[in-house]
Chain A
Amino acid sequence: MKKHIFTKIFIGLTVIFFYLPIVYTVIFSFNSSRSLSVFSGFSLQWYQKMFKNSDMMDSIFYTIVIAVLATVISTVAGTVTAIGLSKSNKILKGVTEQINGLPIMNPDIVTGIGLLMLFSSLAVSKGFMTLLLSHVMFCIPYVILSVMPKLRSLDPNILDAAMDLGCTPVQALIRVIVPQITSGIFAGALISFTMSFDDFVISYFVTGNGVNNISIMIYTMSKRINPSINALSTVIIGIITTVLLILNITPIILEKRKEKRKK
């Protein structure tokens, strides 16, 4: 019995450790004073300050736009590439998978400075486009990684079968292959969205001309204690939690509907 209590305390402490900073941020974003330790009353003043601060609002806008665009582009490109690779010869496939693994294995700072030097050497002015290109670059490998295993488990003759039955290659892909790898595509899209939404290090090196995402905004503002950061943080926590909830609940609802229909 004694052992049981220790286990419970240990789990309790780790949960507190993981969630204390998050809960703290949310609560103190509604604090009416600047204090970091005393909650002196409910107020929305830090949110008001955030809404009035055009830099902060821009950063929220850019973060969402980049995350959505990067997710859509890299999901499509990654899926197309994965299908292509699954039909390629071993050498090409192996080499591409190796290269694909580089951005995942490399420390972000190395990827970041590499891209910084690339864009500067090609005289591309840093800003929205470089940010988007970089995000697409580090998202595609994750899409490929989550789609590839699904493709591997497919019957290799299934495409031929579809085309023998009169499908054009495009139809065969969309109607036969894609429906069977949807879970991999969704997983890749989800990873891409959160990776892009949360990225700081790579974005920090490749952006410029006043285009900032939320992470860069927090980094530059954090030199002084500023409770508006808590408000901005709470907005991010809210968005990500909503996305996660929707993604976790939708399959359950869809399943229930299917069951109802069967009945």
Chain B
Amino acid sequence: MSQQIVTHASAAVEPAAHASGMEHADPVEIAALMPHFEAVGFPAKQVFGFVGSVALTLLALWVVSQHRLPAPLLLPAVLVSAAVQALVQLGSFMHLREARGETWQIPVLALAFVIAAGIVGFSFWIMTFKSGVS
């Protein structure tokens, strides 16, 4: 620990630095956010996402149009199927784990969905009572 500020020339914003150093050993501080680039083989993930999404869409449609569940369960069932399909598409289409450095998009998006659920749920709770009394 002789000198804390060690200067170095390989400036990260200089594109030239990347051309020479092909290691791309971007530092990753949080192991859970380690990036992973998808392999270039058969696009199996895309096909899985597509087939899964079509299946879930038709399933939800069938359940609602044919009243395949008791009435009080229909709404939760539709919402759950939507959430599952969203997860399927997020996972298979959206390259969630690709990044340089940490995959910050995963916690940021998770937080966004939690806040979104809070906004929809709380607003509904707040507003239905209001409409009940007015």
Please say whether chains A and B are actual partners in one complex.
Answer: no
Q: Interface of A with B (CB < 8 Å)?
A: none
